[in-house]
Amino acid sequence: MLLAIDCGNTNTVFSIWDGDKFLCTLRTSTHHARTADAYFTWFSTLIKHYEIDHDISEVIISSTVPRVVWNLRVFADRFFNCRPLVVGKPECLLPIEARVDAGTIVGPDRLVNTAGAFDRHGGDLIVVDFGTATTFDVVAADGAYIGGVIAPGVNLSLEALHNAAAALPHVDIAKPSFVIGTNTVACIQSGVFWGYVGLVREICDRIKAERDRPMTIVATGGLAPLFQQSVDLFDSFEDDLTMHGLTVIHNHNKENAT
Ligand SMILES: Nc1ncnc2c1ncn2[C@@H]1O[C@H](COP(=O)(O)OP(=O)(O)O)[C@@H](O)[C@H]1O
Ligand SMILES: CC(C)(COP(=O)(O)O)[C@@H](O)C(=O)NCCC(=O)O
Ligand SMILES: [K+]
């Protein structure tokens, strides 16, 4: 079985793939100093709790935080006796190379989302991932990542307001009932929620105009459902897109192993 690990700047997600389906999805906060032993203590406790019968022999990692990779490598080696495949490293093959400016290191999460979305939908896609940052990945007709957009994440925007303005409280994102807020919390929620709706719509429209062709918009990431339920922005929402992309890249490497 395959253990797929997606480490974002906020959360790290582990999923076990039995070749047919994901047996479980476990989430912890991302912390660069967490040791291999700490990962295993957390992982084995939850596996036991959910009574998951697994036989992990392979590990694939995508990490937007370079510093965590070392401890995750030790975790794979010590507890599953395997050398993990790390997306973005030269030894990890991609179904198709990214076409970007020379020297650009594309976030591995974006390469993984590209592979996962192309496998499901074919080309000409915009993948919107609501993570710490909100990323837009543009996928060409042949499945290559050809660039995109990086915007501050929803929670990052809320945190920035709270941190920079003494009188503004910490606020959780929600769809406000009205655009015109009649209290501070409602004003902030309106600014960030509707501001974000506008941001996503404008960026997708401009990408489509620049590409001059119809494109399918696929959304993923923790906060995507909030927008999907409220406004018609995306053609589909796929919670497991990054995990699916990891299985696609893993398969591709097995099939092309020399
Ligand atoms: N279901 C949810 N409801 C509200 N906030 C969420 C939910 N899931 C994730 N978040 C928040 O959304 C942000 C992005 O989370 P995540 O997608 O895990 O980011 P990353 O992949 O960058 O680690 C974080 O601030 C996280 O706390
Ligand atoms: C843009 C990101 C910070 C998003 O990370 P996340 O929100 O998933 O933690 C990450 O993909 C990254 O570090 N990218 C490197 C630059 C690039 O993709 O062009
Ligand atoms: K992400």
Q: Give the orientation angle of helix 154-164 with respect to helix 184-211, to 10 degrees.
A: 140
Calculate mean pLDDT across residues 149-172: 96
- Packing angle, helices 108-121 and 241-255, rounded to 10: 90
- Average of pLDDT values for 154-172? 96
- Strand ranges of the sheet holding 2-7, from the earlier edge strand across to the other edge: 22-29, 11-17, 2-7, 58-63, 85-86
Q: Which domains does the chain have, with CATH numbers?
A: 2-86 (3.30.420.40), 122-245 (3.30.420.40)
pLDDT digits 0-9 by tens, 166-185 = 999 999 999 998 999 999 99
Q: Is 12 within any annotated ligand binding site?
A: yes
Question: Which ligand 1 atom minimizes the distance to the CA of 13?
Answer: 18
150 ligand 2 Cβ < 6 A:
yes
* Ligand 2 lined by 218 (C-beta under 6 Å): no
Look at residues 62, 59, 61, 10 and name the one whose alpha carbon lies nearest to residue 31.
10
Give 200's pLDDT tier (boundaries 50, 70, 90): very high
Question: Which of 6, 109, 145 has most ligand 2 atoms within 8 Å of its beta carbon, as the pocket-test mutant?
Answer: 109
Q: Is 8 touching ligand 1 by the criterion CB < 6 Å?
A: yes
Quick one: pLDDT at residue 15?
A: 98
Q: Give tens-digit pLDDT for 112-138.
A: 999 999 999 999 999 999 999 999 999
pLDDT at residue 229, rounded to an integer: 80
